[in-house]
């Protein structure tokens, strides 16, 4: 199989030369500037809705013994930054996105996500 240059694109480097494959099939190369070089950016947070009828208490640490800040009502959308099971109880906790001070909520107050948030401490 021989590769024969078909033509040179005007003003574009050698990487953008269109090629003709000698075995009968044709292939063309696109200029590097036309290709998408940006990698998909991971979402910084996932929005989840409180499913529990009793609401979702927000804590200072990933423990139900920690200081309770407030409680979100059922149906409230909450931005989740990440998840962890690295707690004394070993249960799954979510860290809230962009909250000061850092706040945590137990995962049991939400429906199970199809695509869970990233790990906080990989």
Q: How confident is the model at residue 37 (pLDDT cuts 50, 70, 90)?
A: low
Whether residue 25 is predicted with pLDDT greater than 80 in this model: the reply is no
Q: Which of 3.40.50.970, 3.40.50.300, 2.30.30.40, 3.40.1190.20 is the CATH number of 46-109?
A: 2.30.30.40
The string of pLDDT tens digits covering residues 57-105 is 999 999 999 999 999 999 999 999 999 999 888 999 999 999 999 999 9
Give the CA distances from residue 87 to residues 36, 58, 68, 82, 110, in Å, rounded to whole numbers and listed in that order: 41, 16, 17, 14, 19
What residue segments make up the domains of the chain, in order of their start? 3-33, 46-109
């Amino acid at each position: 199989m021989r590769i024969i240059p078909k033509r040179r694109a005007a003003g574009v480097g050698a990487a953008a030369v269109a090629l003709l494959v000698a075995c009968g099939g044709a292939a063309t190369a696109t200029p590097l500037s036309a290709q998408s070089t940006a990698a998909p950016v991971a979402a910084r947070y996932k929005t989840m809705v409180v499913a529990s009828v009793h609401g979702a208490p927000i804590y200072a640490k990933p423990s139900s013994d920690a200081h309770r800040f407030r409680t979100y009502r059922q149906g409230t959308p909450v931005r989740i930054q990440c998840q962890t099971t690295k707690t004394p109880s070993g249960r799954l906790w979510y860290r809230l996105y962009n909250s000061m001070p850092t706040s945590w909520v137990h995962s049991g107050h939400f429906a199970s996500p199809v695509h869970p948030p990233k790990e906080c401490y990989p």
